[in-house]
Amino acid sequence: MTPDLTTGIKWYLVFVFSTTFHEAAHAWTAYKLGDDTAHRGGQVTLDPTPHIRRSPFGMVVVPILSYLYNGWMIGWASAPYNPRWAIAYPKRSALMSLAGPGANLALVIGAAILIRLGIAMHFFEAPARITFSHVVDANTGGAYFLASLLSICFSLNLLLCAFNLMPLPPLDGSGALLLFTNPQTAEKLLSHLRQPQFQLFGLFISWKVFDYFYPTIQLFAVGLLYPGGGYLQGTYSALMNL
């Protein structure tokens, strides 16, 4: 795939919205459960500005470079929280961690509903071949831009949801481990999870492992989107080119 400006703009629009929605979900959940750290920092918002201001490298530089290099985008942002609150209320902290992937899953479901609705209204149709950024075809020229956005939204948020659920630091899945702790063990666990060396190692291992099973997750999701569509053949290899 040769990156082009129009496709890159679509990718960036979806990436910024998806990442902002993810972090806003973390911040809003923490606020509702007793930690107002992110709320005071302005993170409980769908306005991407405070999220970009907090993580300019992960929200601007890395997404653009990853698109230019690979033809697709990845990056990161973060919402602050109070570690003392997380230790005192580990289960609340775990729910805060899960809120981000949950937000991405909601966007996957929302994109799927709009795709199916578009097919029912004959704006869209199932494509002959599925790729990461091509999940639905447009029947009319006017629907092409929306079909492309929904395809990217479906796949990117599925990836963000699944990847962030990996139970290794610094990913959200590691924070979800606090569901099974008490305040005493939560303090020890958090001290380990926040160590930079563990976070770097966890991120490296997670990405290496994730590369092997994500195509299966995408194929499963596509099978739910198009029951009986028969996209298994030829799709796996296309997704492995991410």
HSE-up of 217 (CA within 13 Å, CB side)?
A: 18
- Active-site hit among 20, 22, 23, 151: 23
Count CB-CB contacts under 10 A for residue 117: 11
CA distances from 204 to 82, 84, 164 (A): 26, 28, 13
Q: Is 187 known to be catalytic?
A: no
Task: Give the DSSP H/E element, type plus range, for residue 209.
Answer: helix 196-225
Coil, strand or helix: which one is 137?
A: strand
Specify the amino acid at residue 110.
Answer: G
The CA-atom distances, in angstroms, between 226 and each of 91, 94, 130, 241 are 37, 33, 11, 22
Residue 9 exposed, middle or buried by CB count within 10 Å (0-12, 13-18, 19+): exposed
Active-site residues: which are they?
23
